[in-house]
Amino acid sequence: MKAERLRDVAVAALEDLKAVDITVLDVRGMTTVTDYMVVASGTSDRHVRALLQHVIEETGARGVRPLGVEGEQDAQWGLVDLGDVVVHIMLPQVRDFYQLEKLWRVKPPVEGRAGEEDQTGEDRTGEDRTGEDRIDKENVPGGGARF
Question: Which pLDDT belongs to residue 40?
Answer: 97
Range of the domain at 21: 3-109+116-128+138-143
pLDDT tens, position by position, 85-130: 999 999 999 999 999 988 887 655 555 444 444 444 444 444 444 4
Question: Would you say residue 136 has pLDDT above 60?
Answer: no
Q: Is residue 39 in a domain?
A: yes
Cβ pair 42, 91 in contact under 8 A: yes
Task: Write the CATH number for 46.
Answer: 3.30.460.10
pLDDT of residue 108: 54
Q: Is residue 26, in this structure, part of any structural domain at all?
A: yes
* Amino acid 103: pLDDT: 84
- Distance between CA atoms of residues 93 and 70, nearest Å: 18
- Render pLDDT for 48-85 as a digit per residue (tens, 0 to 9): 999 999 999 999 999 999 999 999 888 899 999 999 99
133 located within any domain? no
The span from the CA of 17 to the CA of 124, in Å, is 40
The number of domains in the chain is 1
Query: Are 144 and 90 within 8 A, CB to CB?
Result: no
**What DSSP line would sit under 34-65, residue for residue?**
-SEEEEEE-SSHHHHHHHHHHHHHHHHTTT--
> Does the residue 80 lie in any domain?
yes
Residue 15 maps to a domain: yes
The answer to whether position 37 is within a domain reads: yes
Q: Is the residue at 79 inside a domain?
A: yes
pLDDT one-digit tens code per residue, 13-50: 999 999 999 999 999 988 999 999 999 999 999 999 99
pLDDT of 142 higher than 70? no
